[in-house]
């Protein structure tokens, strides 16, 4: 029987790790559909950013109460699941509480800490469920979360409550088996939380307790493997991708727009025709129309999005009722990357499907509403930059499709002819000052 359990565990673990690896490699392939970009400079500052923003959650602490609750869930997910190492080794080796003897009294301290953290995680998850579904904070009931995205957040919170409850129940049943002297269950003494729960199981027989303990053990570890393979389909992928995304965040000042080399070359060749490359020059493309026109960092941003809505809550266009939602920009970019990836999987290479990120996923109205104020960039806790995607799509819209409001075209004409947005010739621009001086 023991060997059968070991074999079952090894098969489950192997399948879960294989499936997760396959899905992560698929997402990596999708991200690399974007244009190449070198963001490997100044590694010391990048490591610092990653530790502060991803691990330390620096931006979250602008709201200390919510940040502390989020950190408890985050720490619970990372720290409590250290015990997965013991569970995995027990499953492979057929042992029980493998680390008890080597760690001695420190083992009790560790499990006590885990149990306190488990209770904290359950409490915070309940509070977050209430915030989303009872208090209904504005950024959680936005229309861009309709459907699966809203359910996704609830499923994750409920799953964490179940996993933590299984952990505590498993320890409580384990303690009763120790008190009954059952073989295989080593003496640990009472743990802080499960020790309080243990009396609820004291009238159960050894067989019943073993069934409860083993069921909790199996569901707990299977639940963790299931959660692992749910991540690639969930906004909670940011648990993993927040780290590389923070590391590869741009180090330039926020609001600095990238130079459009194609435009620069057009002007240069017009002013100095002798510099024009010999032969047929490659067709120049301005901005981005689909995900392959964006950089891989833009696509990593999309997959790292937590869908927390802080960007949209800070967006002045969104606050005044306009269609733009920076969160939805990132979700739409990720959705399009997924669809392009599935197209490649089906056909071996991408086959035109008559769709583009611009127009089919992100509308002209959304792009025109952006004021380029950078509020969304400033607010994102994991260094995502929705503005870059908006600007690239808007550049394509204007420079490739000649699609701009009449008011913008007037401004563009004035800049081209008068070198300023106003309809004044350069020679007349300072006339008002001369008139005041003479007046």
- Report pLDDT for 301: 95
* CA-wise closest residue to 290 among 359, 351, 345: 359
Widest CA span of the chain, in angstroms? 105
Handedness of CA 132, 136, 140, 143 (dihedral sign): positive
- Residues 158 and 129 sit within 8 Å (Cβ to Cβ): yes
Model confidence band, residue 275 (pLDDT cutoffs 50, 70, 90): confident
Give residue 5's pLDDT.
80
Rounded-to-integer distance, Cα 364 and Cα 358, Å: 8
Beta carbons of 324 and 366 less than 8 angstroms apart = yes
Interatomic CA distance for residues 155 and 144, integer angstroms = 18
Q: Which of 82-96, 110-124, 220-234, 274-288 has the lowest mean pLDDT?
A: 274-288
Other CB atoms within 10 A of residue 398 CB? 19
**pLDDT reported for residue 1:** 60
Looking at residue 246, its pLDDT comes to 92
Q: Measuring CA to CA, how many Å separate 309 from each of 58, 220, 384? A: 17, 31, 12
Over the stretch 167-218, which tens digit does the pLDDT of each residue have?
999 999 999 999 888 888 888 888 999 999 999 998 899 999 999 999 999 9
Query: Please, which residues bridge with residue 35 across strands?
Result: 295
- Between vectors from CA 267 to CA 261 and to CA 271, what angle results, nearest 5°? 140
The pLDDT value given to residue 126: 93
Give me the mean pLDDT over the 140-160 stretch: 85
The tens digit of pLDDT for each residue in 336-371 reads 999 999 999 999 999 999 999 999 999 999 999 999
User: pLDDT at residue 426 above 80?
Assistant: no
Are 188 and 100 in contact by the 8 Å Cβ rule? The answer is yes
**DSSP 8-state symbol, 94:** T
According to the model, what pLDDT value does residue 413 have?
Answer: 86
pLDDT tops 80 at residue 59: yes
Q: Are 189 and 179 spatial neighbours (Cβ–Cβ below 8 Å)?
A: no
Beta-carbon contacts of 176 under 8 Å, excluding residues fewer than 6 positions away, are 198, 201, 202, 204, 209
Look up tokens 């952006």; give the residue.
Answer: 370
DSSP 380: -
CB 300 within 8 A of CB 244: yes
Phi/psi zone of residue 324: left (φ > 0), alpha (ψ -120 to 50 degrees), beta?
beta
Distance CA 292, CA 339 (A): 12
Query: Residue 282 — pLDDT band, cuts 50, 70, 90?
Result: low
Nearest C-alpha neighbor of 306 from the set 126, 79, 84, 74:
74
DSSP sequence for 164-176: HHHHHHHHHHHHH
Element (H, E) at 66: helix 64-75
Q: If you ran DSSP here, which 8-state letter would residue 295 be given?
A: B
pLDDT value at 81 more than 70: no
| Residue found under tokens 């959650």 | 57
Residue 58 token pair: 């620096």
Comparison of pLDDT for 41 and 264, the residue scoring more: 41
Task: Report the mean per-residue pLDDT for the chain.
Answer: 87
pLDDT band with cut points at 50, 70 and 90 for residue 73: confident
Q: What's the confidence (pLDDT) of residue 76? A: 75
pLDDT at 46 over 80: yes
- Closest by CA to 111, choosing from 180, 172, 162, 70, is 172
| Residues 104, 110, 115, 118, CA torsion sign | negative
Estimate the crossing angle of helix 386-395 against helix 296-304, to 10 degrees. Answer: 130
Q: Across the chain, how many H-helices and E-strands are there? A: 20, 0
> Tokens in use for 403?
């699609």
The answer, yes or no, to whether residue 280 has pLDDT greater than 60, is no
**Would you state the pLDDT for residue 61?**
81
Cα–Cα–Cα angle for 113, 117, 119, nearest 5°? 120
pLDDT category, 29, cuts 50, 70, 90? very high
């Amino acid at each position: 029987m023991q060997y059968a359990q070991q074999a079952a565990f090894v098969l489950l673990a192997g399948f879960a790790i294989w499936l997760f690896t396959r899905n992560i490699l698929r997402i990596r392939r999708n991200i690399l559909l974007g244009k190449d970009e070198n963001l490997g400079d100044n590694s010391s500052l990048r490591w610092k950013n990653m530790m502060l923003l991803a691990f330390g959650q620096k931006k979250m602490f602008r709201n200390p109460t919510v940040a502390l609750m989020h950190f408890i869930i985050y720490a619970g997910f990372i720290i409590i699941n250290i015990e997965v190492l013991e569970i995995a080794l027990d499953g492979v080796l057929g042992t029980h509480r493998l680390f008890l003897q080597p760690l001695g009294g420190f083992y009790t301290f560790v499990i006590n800490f885990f149990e306190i953290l488990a209770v904290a995680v359950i409490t915070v998850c309940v509070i977050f469920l209430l915030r989303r579904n009872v208090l209904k904070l504005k950024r959680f009931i936005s229309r861009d979360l309709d459907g699966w995205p809203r359910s996704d957040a609830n499923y994750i919170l409920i799953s964490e409550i179940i996993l933590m409850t299984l952990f505590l129940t498993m320890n409580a049943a384990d303690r009763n088996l120790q008190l009954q002297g059952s073989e295989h269950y080593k003496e640990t003494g009472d743990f802080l939380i499960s020790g309080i729960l243990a009396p609820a199981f004291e009238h159960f027989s050894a067989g019943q307790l073993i069934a409860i303990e083993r069921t909790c053990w199996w569901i707990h570890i299977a639940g963790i493997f299931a959660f692992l393979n749910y991540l690639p389909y969930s906004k909670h992928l940011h648990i993993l991708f927040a780290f590389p995304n923070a590391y590869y965040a741009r180090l330039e000042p926020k609001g600095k727009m990238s130079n459009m080399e194609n435009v620069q070359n057009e002007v240069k060749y017009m002013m100095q025709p002798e510099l024009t490359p010999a032969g047929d020059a490659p067709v120049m493309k301005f901005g981005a129309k689909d995900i392959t026109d964006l950089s891989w960092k833009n696509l990593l941003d999309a997959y790292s999005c937590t869908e927390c809505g802080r960007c949209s809550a800070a967006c002045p266009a969104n606050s005044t009722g306009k269609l733009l939602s920076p969160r939805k920009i990132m979700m739409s970019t990720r959705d399009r990357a997924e669809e392009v990836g599935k197209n490649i999987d089906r056909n071996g290479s991408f086959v035109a499907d008559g769709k583009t990120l611009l127009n089919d996923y992100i509308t002209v109205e959304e792009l025109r509403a952006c004021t380029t104020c950078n509020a969304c960039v400033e607010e994102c806790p994991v260094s995502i930059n929705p503005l870059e995607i908006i600007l690239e799509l808007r550049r394509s819209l204007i420079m490739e499709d000649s699609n701009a409001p009449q008011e913008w075209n007037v401004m563009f004409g004035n800049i081209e002819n008068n070198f300023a947005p106003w309809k004044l010739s350069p020679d007349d621009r300072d006339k008002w000052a001369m008139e005041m001086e003479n007046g």
